[in-house]
Amino acid sequence: MKSKQLHAELDTLVATQAGLMAIVGSLMATHPEYERFQLHLTGLLEILLNGSAGVTFTEMQRQQARDFVETLQQLHKAPPTNPLQSLLDL
């Protein structure tokens, strides 16, 4: 694989990861059962990394996955919003 092509594919992966992080972060912050979601995410991550699905992961990959999830878990619950409020204020 040529260096230029490899760099382009890495750029795509980084951009995709950033987009996915934004999407998942938004879903987490607006989830109706925020605390339950957080608890489930922590448990599921440990099952994934330490169970049969994670057998092929290196220790570095496990740590990177934990870091990624912990970064997302630092997002706070979004305040409730009423999208129709602007219409009610007319």
pTM of the predicted model over 0.75: no
Proportion of the chain above pLDDT 90, given as a percent: 54
- On average, the pLDDT of the chain sits at 89
Q: Which of 60, 24, 26 is nearest to 44 (CA)?
A: 24
Residue ranges covered by each domain of the chain? 3-75
Which single residue is written with the structure tokens 């750029």? Answer: 11
pLDDT-derived band at 75, boundaries 50, 70, 90: confident
Between CA 2 and CA 14 the distance in angstroms is 18
* pLDDT at position 90 over 70: no
* pLDDT at position 85 over 90: no
Between CA 40 and CA 9 the distance in angstroms is 32
Q: Which of 54, 33, 56 is nearest to 41 (CA)?
A: 33
Across the range 31-48, mean pLDDT stands at: 91
